[in-house]
């Protein structure tokens, strides 16, 4: 859908200016090359072309152009509604926990870090993964750091298999 009409008027004016300049050049060339008795006809033809184009543009503007008009309620009813994805509640909870661990260092230290340690012990690691460095803003570790910790935990388990 093109932008609203208010944003298109500079391009419309520029297009008409270029078209009228080309039409004036062609008209003057034709005016100079025809016999004197046909010169009024050349001028009338140029005026008819200009007026015709302006009438067509005004007619489209007041009639309504389907590219600019919104869809009707009938057309909207024909379009299928997009499916709203249903996420697993466990995934939504994990995503929220990661976002909270990223935003708050205390949340990471109290909630996420013990879970990561339990996951490491469940995968058979004897030593705990290294603790990520503290951020001076009080935020938790970045998503890359958390991903690195998870890779470190799961890589040792994959090496044993």
* Arithmetic mean of pLDDT over the chain: 82
Residues 116, 130: Cα–Cα separation, whole Å = 11
Angle 89-103/143-160 helices, nearest 10 degrees?
120
Nearest CA to 113 out of 123, 103, 101, 104 is that of 101
- Kindly state the tokens that stand for 140: 């938790």
Distance in angstroms (rounded) separating the CA atoms of residues 110 and 126: 21
What is the separation of C-alpha 1 from the centre of its chain, rounded to a whole number of angstroms?
Answer: 14
**In this predicted structure, what is the pLDDT of residue 145?**
83
Average pLDDT score over residue span 80-98: 87
* Residue 54 to residue 20: CA distance in whole angstroms: 11
CA distance 56 to 49: 11
Query: What is the C-alpha separation between 19 and 21, in angstroms, rounded?
Result: 5
How far are the Cα atoms of 82, 122, 152 from residue 127, in angstroms, in the given order?
A: 48, 12, 12
Q: What's this model's pTM, rounded to 2 decimal places?
A: 0.43
Question: Across residues 40-69, what is the average pLDDT?
Answer: 84
**80: pLDDT strictly greater than 60:** yes
Q: What is the pLDDT of residue 30?
A: 93
Query: Which pLDDT tens digit goes with each residue over 13-43?
Result: 898 899 999 999 999 999 999 999 999 999 9
């Amino acid at each position: 859908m093109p932008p609203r009409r208010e944003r298109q008027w500079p391009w419309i004016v520029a297009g008409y200016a270029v078209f009228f300049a080309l039409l004036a050049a062609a008209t003057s060339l034709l005016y100079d090359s025809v016999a004197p008795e046909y010169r009024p006809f050349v001028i009338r033809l140029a005026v008819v072309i200009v007026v015709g184009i302006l009438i067509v543009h005004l007619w489209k503007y007041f009639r309504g152009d389907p590219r600019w008009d919104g869809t009707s309620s009938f057309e909207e009813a024909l379009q299928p509604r997009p499916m709203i994805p249903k996420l697993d509640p466990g995934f939504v909870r994990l995503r929220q926990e990661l976002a909270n661990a990223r935003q708050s260092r205390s949340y990471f230290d109290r909630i996420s870090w013990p879970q990561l340690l339990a996951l490491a012990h469940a995968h058979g690691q004897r030593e705990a993964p290294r603790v990520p460095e503290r951020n001076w803003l009080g935020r938790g570790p970045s998503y890359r750091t958390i991903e690195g910790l998870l890779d470190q935990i799961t890589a040792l388990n994959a090496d044993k298999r």
